[in-house]
Amino acid sequence: MSLITSAIGQGLLWAVLGLGLFLTFRILDFPDMTVEGTFPLGAATAVALIYRGMNPLLATLCAFLVGMVAGLITGLLYTKGRIPILLAGILVMTAAYSVNLRIMGRANLSLLGKSSLFKNDFLASLPQYFDSVFVGLVVIIVVTLLLVFFLNTNLGQAFIATGDNPTMARSIGIKTDRMTIMGLMISNGMIAMGGALVAQNNGYADVNMGIGIIVIALASIIIGEVAFGDLSLTQRLVAVTLGSILYRFVLLIVLQLNFSANDLNLLSAIILAICLLLPRFRKFFHFDRLIERSVRDERNN
Amino acid sequence: MNATTNETTNETVNADTATKTPLLELKDVSTVVNAHTANETKILNGLNLTVYPGDFITVLGSNGAGKSTLFNVIGGNLNADEGDVLLHGKSIKRESEEQRTRFLARVFQDPKLGTAPRMTVAENLLLASKRGQRRGLVPRGLRKHLDEYKTMASTMNNNLENRLNTATGSLSGGQRQALSFLMAVESKPELLLLDEHTAALDPKTSQQLMTATNDRIAADHLTCLMITHRLEDALKYGNRLIVLNAGKITFDVRGEEKKQLTREQLFNFFEDL
């Protein structure tokens, strides 16, 4: 039971990443590698600030802002500098590694004996692992509501149109460069905030905690889509969170098969690859059924 | 036929419109590709064009004559290397494509270019209604516009009004292009550019859209430039017809003179080019 609770808690906390990446991967329609750098950047920022005595909530907010700066840099390189988005993301991701080391002063910084968002009397009174479920739930509800509001404003609609058809967006006066930069900033801000939350939950930040992050974030998006099919935009946002929880369940099952935690990235990649291939399989099976039906119809005639 | 020279057309223009001030002027506009190389070519070559409010100009010309380049220079997708572009007498040469959308709307030939495929018909119409305006953090208010959009869509006579909540990507080409057209005209732009907007459609759908286009332009007194390859359409619609050749306007008729023009005359003129 506690394993399941823990998986739900982890799923909720990591869903912030999925939602952040959704803005670039699904709405702007490109893969943003920056996230591999902004996730540990957010973690490092928050942990370093809390370590020096800052209020955890404020430190998490600072992580969000620092993540936005990273997104801004990728956005400027991509739109104004005309560097392909994959390369722009990799550049900022690589640079972020050194920045993270600077921020923490070492490769690994522990919050042992320090405060965090997960340390207060109310959360301590909850059963084991329910602290991350509670914090995760609050964060996800707030973030999802804000996103739904934003995407349904005139600005949000212009943002969606930019990803959907940039030529058309420009032709009706939408400044697509600005929209792209804004999307990258919000997305990376959210992912840095996710990093701050996960680091506080784990009790430490590590410079290497960003490796494979994009795969985990993508997995929650793709699993949500594969599991729930055709949805409205608001429903799709909720599906990302559910996908993130489902991903934790799958991971839980796989780890029960006695894989080592060192295999985690390999397993994540395999799970994501299977989910990405599922629609292809499905198409294949539909095709089979189609043939079967046509043969049967012919016989009846 | 006696090809009308530039001088005489200019005289008739001046006589016709002495009292009107021009909406758009292109003065000695040239665009160069492959500048400073052996392949340097001028697509537009010292082109002059004056458009008056209410003009509906059909634009003819063979491939490579510079029709699309002309639209790109007006629309701001391409900067004129020489010459100037004026709106109400003021130069807009330095304005970006986005800035020019406050007075200009454009419909492309490819139905896919004019609409956002994953957004619904109504969402597309709402987006376009804010053409050239600031888009802030205020709720979009889609629902209160639905009736208005239904009425608007029903003028296209192709069942578009019953698909307002459908993603644009699943519309037929004709419906999608009709939507592109509505999106272009719904904010009543000062200048409308139609770039062969019916060319990708089947003959019947194409005719339907062309009729709806003409009705809308007449009803809203829109100023419009329309590129077409169909001589019939160029003759039937609009109050002025220009022919582009090698980056210049080589033929320019308006009013009565355009009404008298026959398909044969126009065809022969093209043969002589």
Share of chain B above pLDDT 70, in %: 93
> What digits encode the pLDDT tens for the residues B160-172?
999 999 999 999 9
Amino acid at A78: Y
> Residue B203 and residue B213: Cα distance in Å, rounded?
15
Phi, psi of B170 (to 5 degrees): -100, 10
> What digits encode the pLDDT tens for the residues B126-144?
999 999 899 999 999 999 9
Residues of A in contact with B99 (CB under 8 A): 173
Residues of B in contact with A225 (CB under 8 A): none
Q: What integer is the mean pLDDT of B168-183? A: 95
- A167 has a chain B CB within 8 A of its CB: yes
pLDDT given at position A296: 59
Q: Give how far Cα B158 sits from Cα of B162, B169, B216, Å.
A: 9, 16, 15
Are the C-beta atoms of B76 and B99 separated by less than 8 Å? yes
Picking from B71, B98, B176 by the largest number of A CB atoms within 10 A of its own CB, the best residue to mutate is B98
Single out the residue of B161, B194, B196, B192 nearest to residue B175, CA to CA: B161
Kindly state whether residues B155 and B20 are assigned to the same domain: no
pLDDT given at position B36: 84
Kindly state whether residues B99 and B12 are assigned to the same domain: yes
pLDDT given at position B259: 87
Neighbours of A16 (CB within 10 A): 29
Kindly state whether residues B45 and B161 are assigned to the same domain: no
- B143 has a chain A CB within 8 A of its CB: no
Which 3 state secondary structure label does DSSP give B155?
A: coil
Share of chain B above pLDDT 90, in %: 70
Contacts of B169 (CB under 8 A, 6+ apart): B117, B118
Are the C-beta atoms of B253 and B241 separated by less than 8 Å? yes
Kindly state whether residues B93 and B207 are assigned to the same domain: yes
Q: How confident is the model at residue B272 (pLDDT cuts 50, 70, 90)?
A: confident
Residue B130, CB-side half-sphere exposure with 13 Å CA sphere:
23
Which 3 state secondary structure label does DSSP give B207?
A: helix
Residues of B in contact with A147 (CB under 8 A): none
Contacts of B197 (CB under 8 A, 6+ apart): B107, B108, B109, B177, B180, B181, B209, B213, B226
Are the C-beta atoms of A62 and A120 separated by less than 8 Å? no
> What digits encode the pLDDT tens for the residues B20-34?
789 999 999 999 888
Residues of B in contact with A154 (CB under 8 A): 130, 135-138, 140
> Residue B22 and residue B57: Cα distance in Å, rounded?
14
Q: List the domain range (segments joined by +) for residue B128.
A: 115-132+142-185
Residues of A in contact with B102 (CB under 8 A): 173
Q: Do B136 and A172 touch (CB under 8 A)?
A: no
Amino acid at A79: T
Picking from A27, A159, A172 by the largest number of B CB atoms within 10 A of its own CB, the best residue to mutate is A172
Residues of B in contact with A233 (CB under 8 A): none
Q: Do A153 and B128 touch (CB under 8 A)?
A: no
- B127 has a chain A CB within 8 A of its CB: yes
Task: List per-block mean pLDDT (blocks of 10 residues) for chain A, which spans 301 residues.
Answer: 91 97 96 96 97 96 98 98 97 96 95 90 87 95 97 96 95 95 98 97 94 93 89 93 95 86 86 85 65 56 45
> Residue A85 and residue A71: Cα distance in Å, rounded?
12
Find the CATH number of the domain harbouring B88. 3.40.50.300
Residues of A in contact with B136 (CB under 8 A): 153-155
Q: Do B137 and A150 touch (CB under 8 A)?
A: yes
Check residues B209 and A299 and name the one with the higher pLDDT.
B209
Look over chain B and give the mean of its residue pLDDT values, rounded to a whole number: 89
User: Structurally, how many domains does chain B consist of?
Assistant: 2
- A29 has a chain B CB within 8 A of its CB: no
pLDDT given at position A255: 83
Kindly state whether residues B146 and B201 are assigned to the same domain: no
Residues of B in contact with A161 (CB under 8 A): 116, 119, 127
- B135 has a chain A CB within 8 A of its CB: yes
Radius of gyration (Cα) for chain B, nearest Å?
19
pTM reported for the whole predicted model: 0.89
Domain at A2-300, CATH class = mainly alpha
pLDDT above 60 for B11:
no
Q: What is the bridge-based pairing of β-strands B41-51 and A108-110?
A: unpaired
Kindly state whether residues B98 and B29 are assigned to the same domain: yes
> Residue B120 and residue A230: Cα distance in Å, rounded?
14
Two tokens, residue B232: 């019939």
Beta bridge pairs of residue B61 = B244
Sorted by where each begins, the domain ranges of chain A are 2-300
Q: How far is B269 from chain A (nearest CA, A)?
A: 35
Q: Give how far Cα A258 sits from Cα of A1, A120, A252, A265, Å.
A: 18, 34, 10, 15
> Residue B187 and residue B182: Cα distance in Å, rounded?
9
Which 3 state secondary structure label does DSSP give A271?
A: helix
Kindly state whether residues B28 and B162 are assigned to the same domain: no
Picking from A171, A176, A180, A234 by the largest number of B CB atoms within 10 A of its own CB, the best residue to mutate is A171
Kindly state whether residues B98 and B221 are assigned to the same domain: yes
Q: Do B116 and A164 touch (CB under 8 A)?
A: yes
Does a structural domain hold residue B108?
A: no
